[in-house]
Structure formats: C-alpha cells, structure tokens
Amino acid sequence: MTDLKTTYLGLELKNPIIAGASNLVNNLDTLKRMEDAGAAAIVYKTLFEEQIQLERLEFDDELTEYQERNAEMISLFPDIEHAGPTEHLMNLRLAKEAVNIPVIASLNCVFTETWLEYAKRIQNTGVDAIELNFYAVPRDYRLDGKSIINQQNELLKALKQAIDIPVSIKLSPFYANVLNVVKQFDQNGCKGVVLFNRFLMPNIDIDYETYINHFSSSTTDENLLPLKFAGLLFGNIQGSICCNSGIHTGKDVIKMILGGADCVQIVSTLYANKISYIQVMLNELSEWMEKKSYHRLEDFKGKLSQKRVNDPFIYKRSQYIDILLKSSEIFKKYQVH
Ligand SMILES: Cc1cc2nc3c(=O)[nH]c(=O)nc-3n(C[C@H](O)[C@H](O)[C@H](O)COP(=O)(O)O)c2cc1C
C-alpha cells in the first residue's frame, strides 16, 4: 500500500497533485469534481488588481454616459461605486466552503497598499494560503533587475507582517539568477515557490499582419525547466517546491518528485483530459511506486536532485559537452547531412 501524503506550505496534502489556477474553478461543481477525482488542493484563479481597475473604469463610463443630458438627469446615478474585489472574495469563500481540501488563493496587484488590503481581505475568506502571482512583464527600461527583486522582497516582508496564513510565490523563470531570488524569498518567509509562471505571448498572424492573443495549452517539454530548478533547489531552501507547466501525466509527476518537488500544479491536462484524469495520474504514480517498492514519496523525493545525484555536473554544462561529443550520433538520428 503506497502513501502519497506530502506537505506543502506547512499544509498536509493527501497526495502531490494540486489543481492549479484556471477558469475551471469558476464553477463550484467542477471544484467538487476535482476533489472527488483526488486533487489534494486547489488554487483559485488570481484576483488581479488591474482587472478591477479596468472594470471600475468601464463601470464609471457606463454610469456617466447619459448623465447631464439635461438638468433633471444630473443625479440619475447618485454615488454608485464598483464593488471592487467583493465578488471575487465572495466566490473564494464559496469555493472554500464547497470542498474539504485546502484552497489556496492567488493575488496579483500593482500597488503595495492594494497588495496588503486585498491579502487581508482574502485571509478573511478562510482560505488556507495565498499564492503571490508575480506576473509582471517588464516595460520600463530604467528599472534594473536588482530594484525589481528588492521591491518584491519588501512586498513579501510587508505581507508577512500583515497576514498569518502561509504565503507562496509563483515566480517567473526570467531572473538573471533564479536560485538567488528564490533563496531571498525563502529567507524572507516565503513558505514555498511555484516553478514557474507560464507567460502567454502574443503571436503574429502573417496573413492579416496582426497580433493574435490566443490561448495555447502547454506541452510536456515545458516541464524540463521546473524539473531542472526543482533539482537545483532541493535541499537548499526551507520552503516547499511545487512544479508547474507541462505536467500532463503521472510519469511527469514522478519525474518532478525524483527531481525534488514536494508537489505539482496541473491545468492544461485537466482541459485536455478532463477532471477525472487526476485519478489516472494518481494511479500511475501509485503503480510505479509499488513496482519500485517505494512506500512513501520521501523514499524517492529528490533522489535525482543535484545534491543527491552521483554526477554533480549533470545540472551544469556537461549536458552540452555530452551533446557535442555525441553530435555525429544525433546528426545521424535526424538525418542531417
Ligand atoms: C484558462 C487558464 C486560466 C488561467 N488562470 C490563471 C490565473 O488566474 N492565475 C495563475 O496564476 N495562473 C493561471 N493560469 C496558468 C496556470 O495556473 C498554469 O500556471 C499554466 O497553465 C501552466 O500549467 P499547465 O502546463 O499545467 O497548463 C491559467 C491557465 C489557463 C489555461
């Protein structure tokens, strides 16, 4: 009998599969189906301050559109305000009440004051943790990398003062030294990192010569990036390691744990293979563990991390050197002449 239990952000999870943030959580019935299929926790979709700001602007535009057309209409809509994050917070509370597994909120704000205000209000909904969604695309040439990292650390420290529930960070892979940044977050009280945020990139339609902003699901190749960094971080930070992006099958989950992950977040595979696929992935994990005579995740967690692997250079440049040495075999395989 295999024991799939793991710990994430100090929360005990019955297994390592978390349903990541997506629009699937909009529906309470889907949340319950995730729980029934075996999801160990759910990340609720992000509360974006920018979205609230946009909605507020549209709302104000709609309200003022017909005002002051004539003298009697000046006070047609007296002092009505957009409700801000209230609806999102109410849905978060309903999500928490709907399932018995941990619910993790996700937050992305622009201003420090809003980060703090929304985080406190999120905590009041009763959720188990908050994932800081550090999703920002740099646009300002004057802002250097160190300043951005300092701002994020100051924000993290302020949030830790403001709330009691565990805080995790879903971060970008595009730092000059991700390991250093994660270490700083870890030292400043971040209880876990999600490797990594998957940025949607605008594409170009060459026929219409226009930008297209379409959603594309991840491919399994994408999980090699979180796999590598889980392997590098394992044993070097206090907080939990959660891999995300391109984790589609039970085999992918096994790989992440061998690398050093405590758990994974999945989304694309839920869209492609339906919610019930969580159970298939869990079965695959259990069967593999039985075959290998592993009883608990701890028996193989981080077995292939940089700390534990026999060849310490596997995570370094040796991969390239290896490929260069074997280049004739590779060229033959792909029939390059
Ligand atoms: C429709 C959709 C909505 C998403 N919404 C959010 C969100 O609100 N917050 C967030 O952090 N990530 C969001 N994501 C990203 C996923 O949580 C996840 O990081 C990404 O899809 C990579 O995981 P995957 O390879 O399993 O799909 C969304 C993804 C999809 C497909």
Return d(Cα 35, Cα 232) in angstroms, integer: 31
Q: Which of ligand 1's atoms lies nearest the C-alpha of 266?
A: 26
Taking CA atoms only, the protein residue closest to ligand 1 atom 22 is: 245
Q: What percentage of the chain has pLDDT greater than the value 90?
A: 74
pLDDT in tens, 49-91: 887 777 666 656 665 665 555 555 555 555 556 667 999 999 9
Can you list the alpha helix ranges (DSSP code H) found in the chain?
A: 28-37, 49-64, 86-98, 112-123, 145-162, 178-187, 224-233, 250-259, 268-273, 277-291, 318-325, 327-333
| pLDDT for 75 | 53
64 C-alpha to center of ligand 1: Å? 35
More confident call, 74 vs 48: 48
The residue assigned the tokens 């070097």 is 236
**Number of DSSP helices (H) and strands (E) in the chain, helices first:** 12, 12
- Looking up tokens 């969580």 gives 278
Note whether 12 and 70 are within 8 A (CB).
no
Domain 6-308 belongs in CATH node 3.20.20.70: yes
- Please work out, in degrees rounded to the nearest 5, the angle formed at the alpha carbon of residue 116 by the alpha carbons of 229 and 186: 25
Inform me whether the pLDDT recorded for 144 exceeds 70.
yes
pLDDT number for residue 139: 80
Q: Per-domain residue ranges for the chain?
A: 6-308
To test ligand 1's pocket by mutation, which of 22, 256, 269 has the most ligand atoms within 8 angstroms of CB?
Answer: 22
User: Binning pLDDT at 50, 70 and 90, where does residue 318 land?
Assistant: low
> What are residue 181's phi and psi, to 5 degrees?
-65, -45
Residues with CB under 6 A from ligand 1: 20-23, 45-46, 106, 133, 170, 198, 215, 217-218, 244-247, 266-268
Tens of pLDDT, residues 165-210: 999 999 999 999 999 999 999 999 999 999 999 988 888 999 999 9
Q: Is the separation of the CB atoms in 157 and 132 below 8 Å?
A: no
Ligand 1 atom 3: residue of nearest CA? 22
Among 267, 268, 271, 277, which residue has the most ligand 1 atoms within 8 Å of its CB, making it the best to mutate? 267
What is the whole-number distance in angstroms between the Cα of residue 267 and the centre of ligand 1? 6
Nearest ligand 1 atom to alpha carbon 269 = 26
